[in-house]
Chains A and B, each alone.
Chain A
Amino acid sequence: MRKFLEIFSLETKAFVRSKALMMLLVASIGWMLVFPLLAKGDGTAAGARELCIRYSLGGVFLLLVVSLLASATGSLARERAAKRLQLTLIRPVRYVIVVLAKIAAHVAVGAVVLAAACVVLAFKTDLSVPCSHVLSPVLPSPREEARAMYEEYMKDPETPEAVKRTKKEIVLRLLENRAIDHYQVVPTNTTAEWTFPCLPSDDRSVAVRMRFSAQYDTRQDVRGRFDFGPWSAAVTNITQAVVTIPLSPSRPLTLSSSHLLTFANFGSSALMLRPRKDLNVLVEADAFGWNLLRAYAALVAILALVVSFGLFLSAGLGRPVAVFVAFVTLAVSEMSPSVVEQYPDELETNLVDRIGLHITRFAAAATRPVSAASPIEALSKDECVERGAVLRLFLADAFAVPLLLSLLAAFALPRKQDF
């Protein structure tokens, strides 16, 4: 532990005495204070709040990801190039301790800067605003739905032979994309129902967030009624709008209350919605202050993952190559999900496109923990950053993955024959 603390202390001193920590603090606090003055929202207080949280805290997080990744990626490589690393490696200290201490120091610096940004945000926003648990309907996974569709599709005599000859994996992927965007039609004067995982056990406020569509994307009137256990609400709106409708208790909550959310369409035209994307039940959770705290923990965990990846690269590669690989990976992690979503399989007739898509899909899958884990969007929409999700993220991103990468880095460190 003493050796770990010595290296940790050396790294943090380097951040403090090189003034890097101070510059990061000044830039972050400055951005948190100045951005709300420059940003133009949609004219509503809620819109301004969302904009402020998303881009001010998001900006600080982006700054930290980029600067700490650059620093971590250069850390061991820079010391190796300056020949200082050899003086540490010949001491009786395990290589994995060297890497872990450096990761911890970088994460500590990130945590301090992020904490300062969160304190500024806490002073500028109302901490008592409640956030909401976001419940989604219980549905088979898109993969399961795709498999069921595939079986039916293959039995259908009208399915073209060319499709039947296509590899199952490709057809399944196309069907899975279709399942995610699968529209459910609610004809006029009928009632649609969706099962939700649970009912709130007390008198917390409940709302439905939904977005109905109409055929041909035209604007139509929406008229109907939602019922969810003892709560209900009448709906009068138009299609295409994302609307949050508060539900009111219409009868007492009992143990036998159904988990079904029903919608009775009283309007003059059929309505459509994608249950996986367009329908949620919002249940009041705790205050924004607690949500900010959980989001902070999640962001620190993501920083730990980013930093440990940088140090892992730094252990085995020269600085320019490590920095290049780190930033390409970061860019790919941000871009590949949208590439995969927008270009599913139609381009696979061309070999080069096929190879490109395979690589992009692999990159999207491998970097999903970073690209999909950010809690800032949920925080800005006052959606609850769930405790379980934060715990899972912390265990994976701040413990398991950094430990694994540290072990790999410790293996590579003395084998990079560049002393």
Chain B
Amino acid sequence: MTDDIIVLTDVRKTFRDFWLRPTVAAVDGLSLTVRRGEVFGLLGPNGSGKSTTIKMILGLLDPTGGALRLFGRSPRSVAARARLGYLPELSYLHPFLTAKETLRYYAGLCGLDRRTAARRTEELLEMVGLADVGGRPVGGFSKGMARRVALAASLIGKPELLVLDEPTSGLDPVSTKEVKTLVKTLAAGGMTILTTSHLLGDAEDICDRVMILNHGKSVAEGCVDELGASLEDFFLAKVGKADDFKLAEFLKG
């Protein structure tokens, strides 16, 4: 069994318009390897290609060039998808389903039998603190509650690889801390985790290794400890300073 869970080799992704003219090179020659059991962080400013990279890893987007393997297979293979869990940036739940139905639906898609699905649903709702409201439609949930349901849904199939796109987005500080603790617990249990974030404090807390992306290219990669005393300083040095946004000048008029 290979220890390289995700392998990207010189992966490129160029979006094209209706006439197939290239418009944006979202990812440009990216190579990375995520090994079994590590928590890998993809960091970068908005538009740096984090989400595009994740969607290529999930098989939702085709790379324009390069090679991409997930568990040694194509990301579109059913066998690779069976070992995968994904928490998107927003929850994207079916509003008319209850929290329990949502989890049972995804359990069914993961191939769990009804009894196991029911048990896992109860466990996960308990874990994310929504056991009391499991019978309510998720359309009426707050953003934070919906996010917890989505997190539970991503874990329903007991995945070997968990992909988290901005996992703490929309959560209050208490929930954020809970999610970070959960990620650490899952990682300690041997789960491989790939996460994106632009909250550097979060990444510093949970990631073993990080890669910093800017304009679709890797500008730095390494263990959090190796990158310097402060990840924030390192990040700003690599991708630009805050005043690059020229906000102050704009406000001055």
Chain A residues in the interface with B (C-beta under 8 A) = 2-3, 5-7, 9-10, 13-14, 17-18, 82-84, 86-94, 414-415, 417, 419
Contacts and interface: CB of A to CB of B under 8 A. Distances in A.
B133 to A, nearest CB: 18
Contact of A417 (B61, B82, B157): B61
B96 A2 contact: no
A10 B106 contact: no
A91 B55 CA distance: 13
B92 A87 contact: yes
B109 A3 contact: yes
Interface string B96-136: 11000100011011110100000000000000000000000
A105 B90 CA distance: 27
A41 to B, nearest CB: 44
30 contacts: A2-B111, A3-B108, A3-B111, A6-B105, A7-B109, A10-B97, A10-B105, A17-B96, A18-B96, A84-B94, A86-B55, A86-B58, A86-B88, A86-B92, A87-B92, A89-B59, A89-B60, A90-B59, A90-B60, A90-B86, A91-B157, A92-B82, A92-B109, A92-B157, A93-B81, A93-B109, A415-B62, A417-B15, A419-B55, A419-B60
B78 interface: yes
Given A89-B59, A92-B81, A419-B61, A83 B88 contact: yes
Contacts of A5: 108
Given A10-B105, A86-B88, A92 B96 contact: no
Nearest to A417: B61
A13 B81 CA distance: 26
Contacts of B90: 83
A86 B60 contact: yes
Closest 8 CB pairs of A and B: A6-B108, A92-B82, A91-B109, A17-B96, A419-B60, A92-B81, A83-B92, A92-B78
Given A84-B94, A90-B84, A92-B110, 13 more contacts: A2-B113, A3-B108, A10-B94, A10-B105, A86-B86, A86-B88, A87-B88, A87-B106, A87-B153, A91-B106, A414-B60, A415-B62, A417-B15
A24 to B, nearest CB: 17
B193 to A, nearest CB: 16
B93 interface: yes
A91 B97 contact: no
Interface in B45-86: 55, 58-62, 76, 78-79, 81-82, 84, 86
Contact of A2 (B58, B86, B108): B108
A182 B55 CA distance: 64
Nearest to A5: B108
A265 to B, nearest CB: 67
A93 B113 CA distance: 15
Nearest to B57: A90
B106 A14 contact: no
Nearest to B139: A17
Contacts of A2: 108, 111, 113
B59 A414 contact: yes
B97 A13 contact: yes
Contacts of A91: 81, 106, 109-110, 157
Contacts of B106: 87, 91
Contacts of A14: 94, 96
Contact of A92 (B62, B79, B105): B79
Interface string B178-208: 0000000000000000000000000000000
A322 to B, nearest CB: 15
Contacts of B60: 86, 89-90, 414, 419
B74 to A, nearest CB: 11
A12 to B, nearest CB: 11
A315 to B, nearest CB: 14
Nearest to A419: B60
Interface string B143-166: 000000000010001000000000
A417 B94 CA distance: 22
Contacts of B15: 417
Contact of A93 (B78, B79, B153): B78
B53 to A, nearest CB: 13
Contact of A13 (B79, B96, B110, B111): B96
Interface in B212-249: none
Given A14-B94, A414-B59, A92 B111 contact: yes
Given A6-B105, A92-B111, A94-B78, A87 B96 contact: no
A90 B153 CA distance: 12
**Centre residue among A6, A89, A94 by max chain B CB count within 10 A:** A6
Contact of B58 (A9, A17, A18, A90): A90
A94 B76 CA distance: 9
Nearest to A92: B82
B62 A6 contact: no
Contacts of B84: 90
A2 B115 CA distance: 13
Nearest to B154: A87
A7 to B, nearest CB: 8
B252 to A, nearest CB: 38
Contacts of A414: 59-60, 62, 76
B69 to A, nearest CB: 16
Contacts of B86: 86-87, 90
Nearest to B76: A414
A213 B186 CA distance: 86
B7 to A, nearest CB: 18
A84 B96 CA distance: 13
Contacts of B110: 91-92
A9 B94 CA distance: 13
Interface in B16-58: 55, 58
A417 B62 contact: yes
